[in-house]
Copies of this chain bind each other. A is one copy, B any other.
Amino acid sequence: MDTVRRIEWVLAEALGEMDDASAPRSLAAAIKHAVFPGGARIRPRLCLAVAMSCGDDCPPLSNAVAAALELMHCASLVHDDLPCFDNAETRRGQPSVHKAFGERLAVLAGDALIVLAYQTLAAQIHHRPERAQALFRGLSQAVGMPAGIVAGQAWESESVVDLRQYQRAKTGALFAAASALGAASAGQPLQAWEPLGIWLGEAYQVADDIRDVAADAAELGKPVGQDLCHGRPSAVTTLGLSAALERFEQLMSQALASIPDCRGAKALKGLLRAESQRLIPSHIHKVAVAEPARQSPRHEPIVSSN
């Protein structure tokens, strides 16, 4: 089974209890709506790629970890879309959960998805109980306080914000966990794999910013130019397109260089290079070459939308 099918399968399995006759119907439907159809499933793909590089000695466990990461990501999207935050009308090409099911069920769907993430992991932990602490702690740190994605979202309510800390928590934490927990699910020490997720998380953000100005809408699946339109900070508005592309290449190089020695290192590097091409296709590089050079600070914090 290829990785994409493997992820959809484990997510469908994780949501199996939504069909339980004793479950409240509307909440079950809201939860399914939040998970299917999915986005790029980047976090579980990264998790499984790292697990496979580390030998993937317990696929039921790595599957569960990959699903848990995606369920946490879906939970954060549902709550970020709520009227009190972004009040988003659409998500992944369909109405957001609160638009389709109301605010109450959106709050509850987010809560239930967080619990389901742990539940999915708990269901497989008997295969390797000695890995329980690393996996449950790692997942919690990526989501909760003081530096997970919930903390990241909370920085938006603070009057003084360290932008890098905000960005690391809001997006980087779950990317770092995807990489680190992929390794931990295969019994490898997780610390060595965190940098890969951190570099990749930042690279994806910069790529998002670049695609927002240089891709066409059909390619992106959503309107382009949204960062400028909403006055959101972006690597492109801060650095200019050429320097942002350079920054992206630099982050991908750092990601590649951070991969620890392991038997699957070569295959993983190949995967990341292909992903890099997918994120920034060559025609975008051509756009940048045509753009006039721009002087801009290179080492300012880079913040982008997710």
Contact = CB atoms under 8 A, between A and B. Distances in A.
A107 interface: yes
A193 interface: no
A143 B122 CA distance: 14
A157 interface: yes
A153 B23 CA distance: 12
Contacts of A153: 108
A290 B27 CA distance: 46
Contact of A132 (B79, B103, B132): B132
B111 A26 contact: no
Contacts of A180: none
Q: How many copies are assembled?
A: 2
Given A108-B153, A145-B112, A150-B108, A22 B140 contact: no
A139 B123 CA distance: 12
B151 A27 contact: yes
A121 interface: yes
A25 interface: yes
A157 to B, nearest CB: 5
A119 interface: yes
B123 A27 contact: no
A121 B130 CA distance: 15
Given A22-B146, A146-B17, A133 B140 contact: no
A202 B172 CA distance: 44
A116 interface: yes
Given A18-B145, A20-B146, A154 B26 contact: yes
A144 B122 contact: no
Interface string A18-37: 10101111111001000000
Contacts of A105: 154, 157
A104 to B, nearest CB: 5
A155 interface: yes
16 contacts: A22-B165, A25-B158, A84-B102, A84-B104, A104-B156, A105-B154, A108-B154, A115-B145, A116-B145, A118-B118, A119-B140, A119-B144, A122-B136, A122-B140, A123-B133, A125-B136
